[in-house]
Amino acid sequence: MKGLKSIFLKNFIIYSLVVMLSFTALGGAFIYQISRYAAEERDSALNSAARRASSITTTYMQTAPNMIGSSFSLQTYNDMYRASIVNLAENLGGILFVCDSQGKLLFFATGEGCYTHEDVTQVSQDAVKAIQEDGRFSEMGSFSGLLTSPHYTLGIPASGEDGQMLGMVFASLSADSSLKLFINISSTFILMIFIVFLMVLVVTYVMVDSTVRPLKNIAAAARNFAHGDFSCRVAVPKRRDELYALTISFNHMADAIENMETQRRDLIANVSHDLRTPMTTIGGFIDGILDGTIKPEKQEYYLKIISEEIRRLSRLANSMVEVSRLESGERALNKTTFDISEMVRRIVLGFEKQLTDKEIDLTLDIPDKLEISADHDAIFQVVYNLTDNAVKFTDRAGKIIIYLSAKGGKMQMNIVNTGPGIGPEAIDHIFERFYKGDRSRGSKVTSSGLGLYIVKTLVGRHGGDIYAKSGDGQTEFCFTIPTSL
């Protein structure tokens, strides 16, 4: 739909950003810790090499003057001292500078040997001042031009036991090695992040798509419903989660909507038929009376037919009004205590003419008195509708039996009639609104399809239950309600 942002795209972008920011934060923290560890290791190596060089230099400067005139050659002692400095420089992997107490460069040593600098013979005054005042000097640079590339340099004094500064020692490590370590670690980590990020994106894409796809299917089905196609259903996801429950609920709703639409169409067809037939009959007979087609001696007969058709229309209208009141909740239950046995006897008396005309044998198996607390008018309508249904569908010379009992705080009534049964395809639908099972019972009797729906609704509002069964030439309706509402 135009202007509607995709849930899939929105969720995918959000998840991707969260993953990317998480990995960025993790990578930054990791690189920071590695860099910090490398810096600590570098400072530790510089400090260790400088202190050992300072100790050796202090010893050398204190003892060298005493070697003059001794049997031990001063040159040999000097070579030994320089060899020790070279060995320290080799272990450090850097450069050691040895200066006098004023900062004059005496020599510098690498892992390959000792050398003197032809152009620079003095370290910076800043370095000398820092060591003289603070006892320590550190920088990252070219160290007074003595180095051609950036180095980390640490300088400390070479002092005797009396605290007199005899000289200075500086240890330097190339910054390139630290930079290379940082670049190697960073590039490796970035490559790992990139690979993992791609994997996460793929997984996120699949997860988001599997989440959004059912929603898209539901939206597509809803659009079909809006266009009048109620046959669409959504494929149920394999994983049993909230989307599974949503899809199941949506399909149940779709079934209900389709069923309601079918009932609506059936209602329109049935009501149209039920209205058209009597109205045609009434109109035809009235026209016949008015134009003289129907003779005066026959008018009373046809006026009775018209009266019956009008009563039929009235029953249809009343049923529809009753359904509307029940579904809207306008009809509230009015609890009273009454004798249901007496109610059954009075209802049966009202059907005396129909029973006599069809020679129906009716048996009442009811107690003399059974009081219940319920809505009198509602229960009257339930019993009346079921009795009328039984009389209507019982064949001539058939039988009707009405049972009534109370047990365990519940009242039970069974109404059994002989005659054409209810087909198995109809038995599960007879209590549905607007369902008409007349054809399944092989009868020419017509109905609005609302009577049994009203019965089930009223019984249900009393907290009761109703069922029907049919077979072996007889049909039975049974309902139960609590004896006290």
Could you read off the pLDDT of 383-424 as tens digits, one per residue? 999 999 899 899 899 999 999 999 989 999 999 999 888 888
Q: Which residue has the tokens 């039988």?
A: 399
The answer to whether the predicted template modeling score (pTM) of the entire model surpasses 0.75 is no
Q: What average pLDDT does the chain have?
A: 83
In sequence order, the 6+-apart residues with CB closer than 8 A to the CB of 465 are 459, 479, 480
State the Cα–Cα distance between residues 445 and 454, nearest whole angstrom.
19
Model confidence pLDDT, tens digit, residues 317-335: 776 676 666 666 666 778 8
pLDDT of residue 310: 85
Average pLDDT over residues 442-446: 49
- Helices (H) then strands (E): counts for the chain: 11, 13
Model confidence pLDDT, tens digit, residues 196-220: 878 877 887 787 777 777 778 888 8
CB-based burial of residue 21 (10 Å sphere; 0-12 exposed, 13-18 middle, 19+ buried)?
Answer: exposed
CB count within 10 Å of CB 80 equals 12
Model confidence pLDDT, tens digit, residues 133-166: 899 999 988 887 888 888 899 999 999 888 889 9
**Fold for domain 260-325?**
Helix Hairpins (1.10.287)
**Domain 7-180, CATH:** 3.30.450.20
State the Cα–Cα distance between residues 80 and 307, nearest whole angstrom.
140
Q: Please list the residue range(s) of the chain that carry CATH number 3.30.565.10.
A: 335-482
Q: Please list the residue range(s) of the chain that carry CATH number 3.30.450.20.
A: 7-180
Return the higher-pLDDT residue of 423 and 342.
Answer: 342
Angle, helices 7-63/175-226, rounded to nearest 10 degrees: 170
Overall CATH class of domain 335-482: alpha beta
The b/e string for 268-289 (b: 16+ C-beta within 10 A; e otherwise) is eebbeebeeebeebbeebeeeb
SS3 450: coil
